[in-house]
């Protein structure tokens, strides 16, 4: 059996905002309560090598309310992810807002 190499994933650099500091962002998403919508939403973060800090999903009838807090991307990258979320057929509302980080001055570069 061949030996496998362990490859450490590196975070994807933001070439359009290479000097921008990472910031904490809250994504509030309203979507149709389809069986695969949560996977499709989280996949947009996975494609950027991002692991959200907090994910919450609540179903209310035919609507799924999703809150995702992420702190590894620049504000520019968060806006790009937001546009991709808006393009998902099941998503009918998205609010994107920076979360003030009172304790970490490096996280206050959002906006």
Sign of CA dihedral 95, 55, 33, 76: positive
* Model pLDDT, residue 25: 96
Q: What domains are there in the chain, each with its CATH number?
A: 21-100 (3.30.70.260)
- pTM attached to this predicted model: 0.77
Q: Which residues of the chain have pLDDT under 70?
A: 1-4, 6-18, 101-111
* Model pLDDT, residue 104: 47
Q: What is the separation of C-alpha 33 from the centre of its chain, rounded to a whole number of angstroms?
A: 19
* Model pLDDT, residue 31: 98
Phi then psi for residue 35, to 5 deg, are -65, -30
* Model pLDDT, residue 111: 57
**CA-based radius of gyration for the chain:** 16
Nearest to 78 by CA among 31, 33, 16: 16
* Model pLDDT, residue 20: 73
């Amino acid at each position: 059996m061949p030996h496998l190499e362990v490859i450490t994933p590196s975070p994807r650099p933001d070439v359009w905002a290479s000097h921008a500091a990472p910031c904490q962002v809250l994504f509030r998403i309203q979507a149709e309560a389809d069986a695969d919508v949560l996977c499709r939403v989280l996949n947009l973060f996975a494609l950027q090598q991002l692991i959200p800090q907090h994910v919450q999903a609540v179903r209310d009838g035919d609507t799924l309310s999703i809150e995702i807090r992420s702190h590894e991307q620049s504000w520019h990258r968060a806006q790009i992810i937001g546009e991709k979320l808006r393009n998902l057929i099941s998503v009918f509302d998205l609010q994107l807002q920076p979360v003030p980080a009172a304790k970490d001055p490096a996280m206050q570069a959002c906006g």
